Amino acid sequence: MLALARVRDVYGIRGLRFDESEKTVRVEYDASRLSAAVVHQFLRRAGIDVVETISLIPKPEDTAPPAPVEPSVTKA
């Protein structure tokens, strides 16, 4: 737990939630300051084995494209 406290103190880490019953760690970080690879490295150094990464932000291909815009004025 002390190692996780050190990860929380890293500049760019916004939040860290550890759920022992679910065996999960949720890390919120500033992507303009840190990359996912750097965050994984911090977690590994803290003794946490990263098995799977789940993004809470949907990928662009996961969202439906916008509907085409219909013209509001018809030409005569």
Cβ contacts of residue 12 below 8 Å, gap of 6+?
29, 30, 33, 34
Q: What is the pLDDT of residue 42?
A: 87
Q: Which residues of the chain have pLDDT under 50?
A: none
Q: Does domain 2-56 have CATH number 3.30.70?
A: yes
User: How is the chain split into domains, by residue range?
Assistant: 2-56
Q: What is the pLDDT of residue 62?
A: 63
Q: What is the pLDDT of residue 51?
A: 86
Q: What is the pLDDT of residue 74?
A: 65
Q: What is the pLDDT of residue 4?
A: 63
